[in-house]
Amino acid sequence: MSGGDGAFVVLVTGCSDGGIGCEVARAFALRAPPLASGRDTVLVFAAARRGPDAMKSLAGIPNIVRVPLDVTDPASIARAMAEIDRVGGGGLDVLVNNAGVGCFGPVVEAPIATVRHVLDTNAVAPLALTQALLPLMLHPRGTRSPPAASEPVARVLNVGSLAGALCGPFGGVYSASKAALHMLSSALRMELRPLRVSVCTVLPGGVVSNIARGSAVAFDPARSLYAGLARFIYARANASQSARSTPTADMARRIVDTALRPGYMPASMTYGHLSTFLTFLSRLPYWLSDWLLMRNYGLWPPSSFMIAPGAK
């Protein structure tokens, strides 16, 4: 399908089967473009690092184009941008920065190469992609009248996490990467507003996704000082994936509803299992939230499984 001037063009990253991005792409494809956009159809570019083979569930949907995209690779970004420019008619209306990777384990034992990879994927890459695609977002297409001043010319949604607002034990690297994304997203929201680009930070709670399966577990029980807490560390890696986690499709619909609402998007959008409780917990004084989280993950009171400094 070619977008031309009549398509409302969307790019969603991190669209591997079973994840949030996959369902966001599907939800966009089923929707009509905003009336104020003047577009006739929606054209969705669904992107994943491993390409179409990772997005088999999206095959056959006529208004979805599956593209390979490694968000940490400038050459891959350039190729995806060229494809969007060619097929999408020279513009981009919505960018959903969803691609990301998890990392769980004690921060003090995390390999620095892993830390850099997580920060690069979760924080630097969304900024790099936004920078690269901004010309397409600002480029007028066709002869249609521009949107009214109350409407943005493009929208960027950065999928962060409530873990970026509340850092617990054994998730510090992931939380740091999402906190960095939140701050970059806030700066983009203010700096792009005069250019009529609306930016929203999405803060999922517990939502069914691939985050646990795709996580780097920076923990070796055979060598770790925290070997006695192995069950807590593995529980932290899967904390957002429980029987009560919000279905992926529900989260996707909320994201699409936010992106297609009239006018500028809110600064942030929070949704998902335990999101209200986690937001409340993030606003407690540190002494209280630290105590609650340390108790929950076996760090309080200090126990005999901890190796004292200098012990052999």
Positions marked catalytic: 174
The C-alpha angle 156, 88, 32, rounded to 5 degrees, equals 65
44 phi and psi angles, rounded to 5 deg: -110, 125
- Could you count the other beta carbons within 10 Å of the beta carbon of residue 268? 18
Cis omega (within 30 of 0) for bond into 74: no
Selection from 91, 90, 28, 89 nearest residue 58 by Cα: 28
Would you state the structure tokens that stand for residue 205, as one six-digit string? 């709670």
Selection from 96, 89, 101 nearest residue 47 by Cα: 96
Instruction: Check: CB of residue 51 under 8 Å from CB of residue 68.
Output: yes
Rg (CA), the chain: 21
303 phi and psi angles, rounded to 5 deg: -125, 170
Ordered alpha helix ranges (H), the chain: 20-29, 74-87, 112-119, 125-138, 172-192, 230-237, 248-260, 275-282, 286-296
Selection from 291, 275, 214, 240 nearest residue 14 by Cα: 214
Would you state the structure tokens that stand for residue 188, as one six-digit string? 């983009």
- Dihedral in degrees, nearest 10, Cα atoms 93, 42, 24, 271: 70
